[in-house]
Amino acid sequence: MSKTLVIAVGGNALIEDPHHVSVPAQYLAARHAAQSLGGLIAAGNNLAIVHGNGPQVGFILRRAELARGVMHEVPLDSCVADTQGALGYNLQMALGNEIHARGLKRSAATVVTQVLVDKKDSAFSHPVKPIGGFMDEAEAMRRSKEEGWNVVEDAGRGWRRVVPSPQPISILELDVIRALVESGVVTIAAGGGGIPVAPGDGGEIEGVEAVIDKDKAASLLARSLNADALVISTAVPRVCIDFGKPTQKELDVISVAEAEALAAEGQFAPGSMLPKIEAVCAFVKATGNEGLITDPAHLSAALEGRSGTRIVP
């Protein structure tokens, strides 16, 4: 029986080699991602795909820095929109080619997606999400003074700009996404976590200088669609505890309560696995359906219960 699946694909999955980041190289990575999704499409599942965009937003900001004084700055909401279009195009074409290669009668489409946030979210007073390139301290202090940037020293590697990462509240194009998914269109949506928007003083929707966590947006989309499963594709086939230690252990099936207890123990790194665990737990608690975390090569096996880490009610 076909299922409705929301699958989150990291932005780094679309850059397989940090020394080869050209557009053709990124398309090749998208083609590999499409191949890993092909089996799920061939099985008749309805898919909504949420991709990350961290490295790609960094490229846009770097270009703006290099063109400073010649070209205009690009606000963050436009950076997200730009990457939704460009990465959506890559994935849409790659998926279309994969569908054609398998002889399937399906299509793929990208939805430029706005996600509502609250301007009163505490994230706006405590920005923590690093974006863009590294700077020396003098440059960071100048940018902070002249442009109002929040800057932090990043683990001895230099200074970086940090921006708010508020909680996603609702997806404005949800009805469009649902109609496409239910009709069998492989739908790429909420790319990069979605374009952050909020009502302005006059009540009209406007862009917000922030970024939304991709996994949180995928969880919101999966809950909103009442998907049969939320699948987060990452760099490892299974979630581990005691990661990197001699006592490292892979997790097969765990309950939400067990996952939350392990998170409270500090088993999951805040910048990598923790947001994925939190996103899946939120989905499972809201829907009663299962969540999965695995790598691209094991997507089909994970959905068949033969790989990956399953988080259950």
Residues 216 and 83: their CA atoms lie apart, in Å, by: 18
DSSP type of residue 1: -
> In the annotation, is 191 catalytic?
no
Laid out side by side, the sheet with 159-163 consists of 129-135, 159-163, 150-153
Tokens encoding 257: 């309560």
> How open is the CA angle 177-179-184, to the nearest 5 degrees?
95
Q: What is the largest CA-CA distance in the chain?
A: 60
Give the helix/strand (H/E) hosting 116. strand 114-116
Rg (CA), the chain: 19
Distance of CA 103 to the CA centre of its chain: 29
Residue whose structure tokens are 């290669």: 101
Residues 86 and 80: their CA atoms lie apart, in Å, by: 10
> In the annotation, is 119 catalytic?
no
Residue whose structure tokens are 């205009």: 72
> In the annotation, is 105 catalytic?
no
Given the residues 11, 52, 191, 291, select the one marked as catalytic: 11
Given the residues 38, 132, 276, 289, select the one marked as catalytic: 276
> In the annotation, is 245 catalytic?
no
83 SS3 class: helix
Tokens encoding 33: 């991602």
Residues 131 and 118: their CA atoms lie apart, in Å, by: 21
Cα–Cα distances in Å, from 156 out to 135, 136, 141, 298?
Answer: 11, 11, 16, 36
Given the residues 129, 191, 216, 289, select the one marked as catalytic: 129
> In the annotation, is 12 catalytic?
yes
Residues 33 and 12: their CA atoms lie apart, in Å, by: 11
Active site positions, annotated: 11-12, 129, 214, 276
